[in-house]
Amino acid sequence: MWMRQLQDLGLSGLVWMGVDIGGFFGDGNGELLSRWTEFGIFQPFCRNHTAMGTVAQEPWAFGEPWETVCRAMLQLRMQLVPYLYTLFEECHRTGAPILRPLLFAYPDDPTTYTADDQFMVGDALLVAPISRPGVEHRHVYLPAGAWGQWWTGEVIEGPAHVLAHAPLGRPAIYARCNTPIPMWPVVQHTGEVPGSLTWKVFVGPGSGSGALYEDAGDGYGPGCRRTAQVEWAGSDRIRFSLSSRSGEFVPPLRDTFVEFAGGDRVRLEEPGEPVVIERNMTNDD
């Protein structure tokens, strides 16, 4: 119910929200906390919180293997901060929800109208959490287009109904192919200045685009934006282009890469200027 409620709130304009990870009332357990964390890291408001008098449910409270699962999921959220921060700015500017139902992106697909136990995070990520104990598989609906399985890199052509294997620590996450996702390395807090940024791309038929918004990190002062475009030219050949920055903010110096899932990782030599690279995904010669 909470998954559907958050999607409804997003469509209603209440986008800065999230349910307490682990649940607020009653006592949870390690599996519940781990599965809830797999979902909770994609909420705009991500917080572990519970009522007084209930058992402790910090990420380390139940020991292993639950602590490792929660740590890995929180690290994934930190890696996705550039993507999430860009969505926050888009929401501020346009009103588009951050966590959104599939029907928001695919209004012409009637199957998405009842797919309320999975959701989109922006345009690039589709997440289908598991919310029942002792379960490792679940049905996932993938709308039209090519989708990359986050953990394996497998590309699936939609529209498709798939039986996803999602053991603890490997939730069902799919990335829209050719939609570049800006990511940091793992950092311990948002005040830490990472030394690199990577555009992650799952390669498949078609084309797509992504964006990166940056500012000083406090929401004040000037900002800047870059857009990335990916085109699949067939025969496993891919073209990635990155625009120059627009806006007054100048981000700190860092190494910038593009990483093709299942392929290679390429360093962008001039991250402040327009960049175009072409790669053969089966032969680097």
Residue 1 has pLDDT above 70, yes or no: no
232 compared with 2, residue with greater pLDDT = 232
Tokens 């959220």 -> residue: 77
Cβ count near 6 (within 10 Å): 26
pLDDT of res. 281: 64
Place 285 in a pLDDT band, splitting at 50, 70 and 90. very low
At the second CATH level, the architecture of 2-176 is Alpha-Beta Barrel (3.20)
Mean pLDDT (the chain) is 91
pLDDT tens for 76-102 read 999 999 999 999 999 999 999 999 999
- Residue 153 makes CB contacts below 8 A (sequence gap 6+) with 202, 261, 262
pLDDT tens for 106-153 read 999 999 999 999 999 999 999 999 989 999 999 999 999 999 999 999
Just give the CATH number of 181-280.
2.60.40.1180
pLDDT tens for 2-49 read 788 899 888 888 898 889 998 888 888 999 999 999 999 999 999 999
pLDDT of res. 191: 85
Residue 255 has pLDDT above 50, yes or no: yes
**How far is residue 254 from each of residues 188, 194, 251, measured CA to CA in Å?**
18, 8, 9
Whole-number Å distance between alpha carbons of 217 and 258: 23
Indicate the angle between helix axes 66-79 and 81-94, nearest 10 degrees. Answer: 60
Domain with CATH 2.60.40.1180 in the chain: 181-280
Domain with CATH 3.20.20.80 in the chain: 2-176
Q: Pick from 172-181, 201-210, 231-240 the range whose average pLDDT is largest.
A: 172-181
